[in-house]
Amino acid sequence: MNDNSQAASVVAIMLCTGHRRPMQQVEEARAIEGFGLEGDRHARAESSRQVLLMADETIEELGLRRGDVKENITTRGLEHSSLVRGQRLEVGHEVVLEITKPCEPCSRMEEIREGLQNELLGRRGILARVVQGGVIRVGDQILTSG
């Protein structure tokens, strides 16, 4: 990564093991190139929605719990609004994610709390695909490039 990289960290990792099931918090997860996180129901080959990253700062500000909005990786210190399509994130020593698009809040957010869908507009997180696999661990540093 370049010298102008921004440092941030992984504060939680969540997997969705089944339709409408609560997120399962784990200490580490295997990211599979071109697929997503092993054991997560949203992992799909060539999908632009393989991994959802969400800012812990937003979760706290909105009075939510980690995993409520179905994020896979909860970050701290990463400015999601500055990330653009094609930008890469180096997570830990092995994994590289490529930003695909912002995640738009869906109507299911209203099941958590009335009005949450609107509160999350532009703040739901960012979607990415796995371009280099490996293990992601809680505490891993995240470096941005591009």
Read off the pTM.
Answer: 0.90
pLDDT on residue 3: 42
pLDDT-based confidence at residue 97 (cuts at 50, 70, 90): very high
Residue 15 has pLDDT above 80, yes or no: yes
Comparison of pLDDT for 97 and 18, the residue scoring more: 97
Tens-digit pLDDT profile for residues 26-69: 999 999 999 999 999 989 998 999 999 999 999 999 999 999 99
What is the pLDDT averaged over residues 78-86?
94
Cα separations in angstroms, 86 against 28, 48, 56, 127, 129: 25, 11, 23, 11, 10
Which numeric CATH code is attached to 7-145?
2.40.33.20
What is the pLDDT averaged over residues 89-102?
97
Strands 95-102 and 51-55: unpaired
- Domain positions in the chain: 7-145
pLDDT on residue 146: 67
d(CA 131, CA 51): 11
Comparison of pLDDT for 61 and 6, the residue scoring more: 61
pLDDT on residue 83: 95
Residue 115 has pLDDT above 90, yes or no: yes
